[in-house]
Structure 1
């Protein structure tokens, strides 16, 4: 019996490292939860000034996922990602929502992937939105283009130094792909990027992107730029969007962030023509590379959208990555 156990243990010890070397898999995620206080200027039905307010415990795009790659031969590597958002604040126990989920191959020819993915325009903003996923997120002001297609094919050109570019094709069956007549339509999202969005390989980042026929938008053009100057991370984004049957609108974002030891101080202003504008201020305190506390305040005002809530939004919370 002991001999058999020894042989089994030896077989497992020999097999597991081989599998791990052949197909490394990473399990990852983050939990971002805040105690939030919202002081609304208008109610959510007819815009009447009621001075509504509420407190809540809110999850900000918490998520879990697995990703990995496998070298098929000396020229081609397969890769995949399966990621879910965990809506911790939902009453429903089935609180998982699909995020990026795709499979692809890459090599000297570039990278091709299929599945549910963020569009190239969404990816192109880099990290200029320093309040992404919070109440100050640029999408909260009506800037279009933050899309994740359900049926997509993305091709990334081979990287050339600090330059990269790609295109995302959204099939007719992808969720929300309707033209101005309500008929199914396909769409495209393209982007070109230069620099490093994390400011590690280079102290600057710039991107230009274009969407057509995605999420009921005839077109969206977005330019993003960022840089690190004297320790201050500066970002800006300009966008022109045109919905089906509507005039084009302009929007922009400017942001700044500054690290002081374990602290990060940040601020941001967003304005979307005839829709909304507002500012955010906040601070993060990093206990470790994986864990931080944060606090912020956002003031957001809508111009013509009576079914959206204007007011002040404050939050304090914790984020842990794994």
Structure 2
């Protein structure tokens, strides 16, 4: 890591002397996140050590003028549990410009709707991640897409924040390949509003629609998602509601609702959340509860324990560990209750 940092500093110092613009970075950052888990799909159980979205990246900015700044980020995931090579730019990777007008960026990065779901999740990248309901309960099409994706070929404009209100508009020119064929409806439109004008309060409202050729059954899946957090002293409350349309060839709709609370007690955070899936398809509802404790040893190092249980209707087979951790145990028989327990640590650098 010292050699890598030295190379980055040397590269910055090697810029031509004629370049007087202010340069920030390149900054190297990342996260190690590992956990030991017990997982039970109702038919079988397994114990494993899992990598939970460990990553490394480089980011920075360059002043182009007094009013304009360029920025960039390149991020890759890696498997900290068994050393498998990660793909370069496999996570949020983009470049753009920003100024008084807002920010314009292009690349491969999280959609505005996905970001709202992440802001309200108290168990992100671990057992009980809310994506086990709001993502895996809403998958569609031959590629099992959802509304919680990093979108390919994405262009996004973010407005300045005015009186606590900020808007985002985004467009994916082609969702699932490098270039779209003429006449195909293979894109996605996205928009979001974020409000932070009251101390301790966050509100997010997002919308996304996919083109009919993305799913190959003549429908245009869409979603509206509302997320909220409120912090009062040591207490944090979270909530989410979403409604999706046309997520099956039959035109089925689905909704999800979630509530959560976290309380900071010294270096510990006690927390829990509950999510409910209401699916139009017959006997396809589900609900999930997650309970856990985080303990922060310092600002960059956190240990935790987490437990989650997910109850399925007769035709549903979701799991509380499919999203957020390395899934070493697939789905069991439909209708089975599933559960998981994890002990892990997160080191940010």
Instruction: Normalising by structure 1, report the TM-score.
Output: 0.83
Mark the structure with the bigger radius of gyration. 1
How far apart in 2 are the matches of 1:70 and 1:82? Answer: 15
RMSD: 2.7
Alignment partner of 2:228 out of 225, 231, 246: 225
How far apart in 2 are the matches of 1:90 and 1:239? Answer: 36
Query: How many pairs align?
Result: 292
Residues 234-286 of structure 1, C-alpha deviations (whole Å, 9 max, x = no match): 00000001215322111111111010000001101011113421100000110
TM alignment of 1:1-322, pairs within 5 A: 15=13, 21-41=22-42, 50=43, 52-90=44-82, 93-96=84-87, 98-125=90-117, 127-141=119-133, 142-143=137-138, 144-172=146-174, 174-175=176-177, 184-195=185-196, 202-213=199-210, 216=215, 218-242=221-245, 243-245=247-249, 246-273=251-278, 274-303=284-313, 304-306=315-317, 308-309=331-332, 310-322=337-349
How far apart in 1 are the matches of 2:24 and 2:110? Answer: 25
Instruction: Point out where structure 2 has 5 or more consecutive residues left out of the alignment.
Output: 1-9, 139-145, 279-283, 318-329
How far apart in 2 are the matches of 1:251 and 1:177? Answer: 33
Instruction: Normalising by structure 2, report the TM-score.
Output: 0.77
The Cα shift of 1:85 comes to 1.2
The Cα shift of 1:88 comes to 2.2
How far apart in 1 are the matches of 2:233 and 2:266? Answer: 15
Higher strand share: 1
Instruction: Point out where structure 1 has 5 or more consecutive residues left out of the alignment.
Output: 1-11, 42-49
SS in 2 for 1:122: helix
* Contact preservation (8 Å) 1:63, 1:83: yes
> Which 4+ stretches in 1 moved above 6 angstroms?
16-20
How far apart in 1 are the matches of 2:40 and 2:176? Answer: 36
